[in-house]
Amino acid sequence: MLVYATPDDYADYTRKPAPADIEGELERASERIDELLTVAVYRTDDTGMPIEPDEREALKRATCAQAAWSLAVGDPYGVASAYKDVQIGSVKLGGRTDAGGPPRYAQDAVSILRRAGLLPGYVIDGPYW
């Protein structure tokens, strides 16, 4: 699995020290970025990383934005978007939400990828309109 950012990248992006468990957050954030890039077309090297420096930088920044957002909302696994009530201690998930729930993607990450030309369309996330 590709991870588009390092703990040092995260610290540079947020201008705060990276949390001790940031590697896992960056892995999950990279997975979310991969979801957004499903139909994106760009050249990659043998490892799957973009060849163009601007595109590589965009993936790194978008990953950091996604990780920071995930930490800020306190839902790194996207569980809150699937359930009305969520509780971690003693588990309690509750019923499924109707048409929405919290968004899955950080809007800053989406904007970074769009400005870099990596998102050809729009990401509709959260409640349907």
pLDDT of residue 104: 83
| pLDDT mean over 33-50 | 90
- Is residue 23 pLDDT above 90, yes or no? yes
pTM above threshold 0.85? no
Q: pLDDT of 2-17, one tens digit each?
A: 999 999 999 999 999 9
Query: Of residues 89 and 20, which shows the higher confidence score?
Result: 20
- pLDDT > 80? residue 86: no
Residue 19: DSSP 8-state: P
**CA distances to 13, 16, 36, 61, 103 from 10, in Å:** 5, 8, 19, 8, 21
